[in-house]
Amino acid sequence: MPATCDDRANSLIHIEKMFSKKSFFGIIFWLLLAGLSVTLVTFAGLYLYLSPKLPSVDSLREVKLQTPLRVYSSDGKLIGEFGEQRRTPLTYNQIPPLYIKALLSAEDAEFFEHHGVSLKGMLRAASQILKSGAIQSGGSTITQQLARDFFLTRKQIFSRKFNEILLSLEIERKFTKEEILELFNNKMFFGNRAYGLQAAAQIYYGKDVHQLSVAQYAMIVGVLKAPSAYNPLANLKRAMIRRDWIIGRMYELKHIDQATYEAAINEPNTASYHGTTLDVQAPYISEMARQEVLDRFGDKAYTEGYKVYTSVDSAMQATAQAAVLKGLLDYDLRHGYRGPELRLKPSEDAELIDWQDQLQSIPTLGGQEPAAVVDAQEKSLRVLMSNGDYIDLGWEQGLSNVRPYFTEDSRGAAYKTVAEFLKPGDVVRLTKDNDDQWRFSQVPALQAALVSLDPMDGAIRSLVGGLDFNQSHYNRAIQGARQPGSSFKPLIYTAALENGFTPASIINDAPIVIENTSTGVAWRPENDDGKFVGPMRMRQALYRSRNLVSIRLLRSIGMQTALDSLVRFGFNPKEFPRDLTLALGSHALTPMQMATAYASFANGGFKVDSYLVTRIEDDKGRIVYEARPKRVCKECEFNQLSYADDGSSIPATPSMDNNLRAPRIIDARIAYLIDSMLRDVVDKGTGRLAKQLGRNDLAGKTGTTNGPRDSWFSGYNPNIVASVWAGFDQNTLLGRKEFGTSAALPIWVDFMRTALEGVPDQLPRQPEGIVTVRINPDTGKPAMPGDPDAIFEVFLGEDTGRTSAAGTETSEQATLPEELF
């Protein structure tokens, strides 16, 4: 039957539809092909571009035993360790099979099936990228983890991920699966400075890896995911959750049976720290020693097992740190509570795991541990600690004396209830008192530094560079140059005594106006109390810290004379100002520099240089470095000749190599005079707080700079010299009631109280050429017979014939042209 028009039309439509479908699928096909081609070309380009830049995976075969650098105190106490723990490599056959099963259950169940990259893992990671727009987790195999941790960074970027894939494929090509597992378990970081499985077994359980249980294997494997978050020593609750999940995975994958599973899941935690414990916490000291050894030996210092012995006394170091912390906390208490460090968002988790996680990231500083307020009642407080413990504080546990901070000069009245200043989520600090009880506290905002030396050879006996090394590695004892203020005056007084002045010289404490011809601005220096007391003896002026007297002394002896004297103390004169502010300590110096200068007062006038490292031994105990400090030898100045039996003189055998003798920089008699004046600072002046130690051999000088901004006390006895600075890193104001006597001196006193415990008084021997004369305290001249106000004063022998005018400033001296200064 011939086709009708309708039939022909339907045929055409059918044909047209067929071609339309083919065109549609054809377009899709060509688009997919084009996309695939672009992808392949892109990946090929990336491979060609990145492949030559990738490191060689052959370096993974170089497994080395590494012994860390250890730093010791003078009495053999461990105070620092640098470098990785010794790795004890295991062959694949030495790795317990149950451990391997635990590892693969947690990290890479298909390890023996893939070729370095898991498609499932990559698809999971891709899904997360599509959902979040960023890399959330790597989907990484064990091979990829090995590649990432040793050749790349953990930064979540696409180029890193692509490099990781390329390296993993290369590792799989060059290494067997067993070799990869061997490398992984010998080189990966298991937290707490444990590198490798065997080290982890020792650190957490103190056992050989073959002695561990299934639960212990699971705990160690759990640490790998996040060595801080899943560390049983730092976060037991999360570590146990992770451990139990791994045990469950082992059972799910049929690596263990029901009985083993139940025994493992019910096994209590037995992890504890079995690694190296420092005997003394002295991070600033150990860092200084590390740097010195690094400068001498380079990077091998970290791996060759060097033992570094320092001059630090462990007991004195602990005393110094306790004194600094107490001083900072006392200042903080005087100035009020600044409020919580931060506020955590309300938690929907009854266990407060998210709060605990955040607390884990907040370091303990100066013994002040972070805690989150859970409940604040009228007279009590409940907080959550970073380890998951809950602590309840009563009203008398540091809460009753909390007063709000307003400014450096003012604080509010004490709060009447805890709820007035704290609420749930507030992050606060707790510290333990002498009775091991928790108390409410806060991290001090003030900083301080202390350094003590042996004045006979400059050996550093203790050093504290700040509140806490974890807060700031900035070592204020050797890097923090600040104006020393009046504690610098003894250096000017020494130069004055060397140039005709005596302790009895009368100097006028009266206003001075210094005109600056270039700016037209006049300088009108004042005393700390804003008052002037008129003529006074030089000794009085020092222990009462009169600024105008120091300025007049400097103006009288001349700038160049003063600078020449400072050079002998080891200072660089080019760094000092060439104006009268030098007399007030306007040039910034470090506590180490001040302690070194004061050592010359303590030892009778000799120059010593500070040093820390006494010797370095290699891993075989051989000495590879030994310090040769210059040492004070007062006896070497006397009896330079000895005599034979026949009476003839022969050269004496020197008691010390001349090259190792500290040079004398101050005449012994001048040193005796300045020492007697500095002892009066403690006995009668601004250092009177130190009298509570009940000693007669203490000397020193306070220092406070304008504001005040810096608080100092540098002082000594013949056995130890110590300098203390306190202030803010930002050089902000301390508060108008804070001086060297209130912020720095209490730290010095607390330190010396313990440092000199059991040490008898040791007054300096009066050298030849010193005479004692009765003088009138008002005139400084020899007292008339029967003068009821007469006092004794010490002089150089040659000055006794002119004590009537010794050191008195003449009108000619007082009008020296200002341009000389």
All structural domains of the chain with their residue ranges: 6-53, 86-265, 338-441
Give the Cα separation of 808 and 781 in Å (integer).
10
What does the block give as tokens for 13?
């439509």
**The pLDDT of residue 125:** 58
Q: CA torsion 136→139→144→147, rounded to 10°? A: 0
Question: What sections of 267-419 are H helices per DSSP?
Answer: 283-297, 314-335, 353-360
Neighbouring C-beta atoms of residue 448, cutoff 10 Å? 27
193: left (phi over 0), alpha (psi -120 to 50) or beta: left
**The pLDDT of residue 7:** 60
Burial class from Cβ neighbours inside 10 Å (0-12, 13-18, 19+) for residue 106 reads: buried
**Among residues 107, 164, 170, 292, which one is catalytic?**
107
Ranges under pLDDT 50 in the chain:
19, 40-50, 53, 132-138, 156-157, 639-653, 804-821
How many Cα atoms sit within 13 Å of 393 on the Cβ side? 33
Q: How far is CA 625 from the centre of its chain?
A: 26
The secondary structure element, H or E, covering residue 205 is helix 197-205
**The pLDDT of residue 16:** 55
Please, are residues 209 and 96 in contact by the beta-carbon 8 Å criterion?
Answer: yes
**The pLDDT of residue 163:** 76
The secondary structure element, H or E, covering residue 185 is helix 177-187
Give the Cα separation of 677 and 95 in Å (integer).
72
Residues contacting residue 299 through CB under 8 Å, at least 6 positions apart: none
Give the Cα separation of 113 and 473 in Å (integer).
48
Q: In sequence order, what E strands does 539-664 have?
A: 613-617, 623-626, 641-643, 649-651
SS3 729: coil
Give the Cα separation of 114 and 100 in Å (integer).
17
- Nearest Cα to Cα of residue 752 among 280, 319, 285: 319
Burial class from Cβ neighbours inside 10 Å (0-12, 13-18, 19+) for residue 772 reads: exposed
Cα 399 to Cα 409, 415, 431, 432, 750: the distances in Å are: 22, 9, 12, 14, 25
**Among residues 286, 314, 386, 486, which one is catalytic?**
486
Please tell me the CATH code under which domain 86-265 is placed.
1.10.3810.10
What does the block give as tokens for 448?
């301080």
Cα 275 to Cα 139, 169, 212, 271: the distances in Å are: 33, 36, 17, 12
Neighbouring C-beta atoms of residue 143, cutoff 10 Å? 29
Cα 679 to Cα 126, 281, 495, 629: the distances in Å are: 76, 33, 18, 28
At position 762, the amino acid (one-letter code) is Q
Known catalytic membership, residue 486: yes
Bridge-based pairing state of the strands 69-72 and 307-310: parallel
**The pLDDT of residue 759:** 96
What does the block give as tokens for 576?
């000092």
In the chain, the N- to C-terminal Cα span, in Å, equals 130
Tens digits of per-residue pLDDT, 40-96? 444 444 444 445 546 676 777 665 556 789 999 999 999 998 876 656 678 999 999
CATH topology of domain 338-441: OB fold (Dihydrolipoamide Acetyltransferase, E2P) (2.40.50)
At position 64, the amino acid (one-letter code) is K
Task: Write the DSSP string, 663-693.
Answer: PB-S-HHHHHHHHHHHHHHHHHSTTGGGGGG
Q: In sequence order, what E strands does 482-630 have?
A: 506-509, 514-515, 522-523, 534-537, 613-617, 623-626
Residues contacting residue 343 through CB under 8 Å, at least 6 positions apart: 425, 426, 427
Tens digits of per-residue pLDDT, 24-39? 666 676 666 665 555 5
